[in-house]
Amino acid sequence: MNERALRILAPAFVLTLGVVLWDLIVRINGIPPYILPSPGLVLTTLIADWPILWSSLLATLRPSSKSAIPRGSPASISRAARPVSAVMRLWSSSIVATTRSASANSEEAAKASTTLESALLRE
């Protein structure tokens, strides 16, 4: 196998293995979706809520025209990390939305979802 194919297939294999293990752990242990949603449920919610999540992602990635931040400053380094932060917010928003829809009848689940959401908003 050539090196280029290995550089593509190895990470894809590890990602696939991680998602399969995540799904197995959720199914075998019967973990409620408000604690840890399955990958399929996260993907379904991501697709269902895509218009809202996409507009939020664009707002996060949009640079501010008013800021004049010198290169190399901590703020410019923070700005360089924005895309990663935006992707993490997009993913965590889909989990929060999943927990809300999966646990509509559970008071304990509602408390867990509120706690998770407030923790995410503090960041």
Q: Give the tens place of pLDDT for each residue, 72-107.
A: 555 555 555 555 566 666 666 666 666 666 555 556
Per-residue pLDDT, averaged over 24-47, amounts to: 92
Percent of the chain with pLDDT over 90: 28
Strand extents, DSSP E, the chain: none
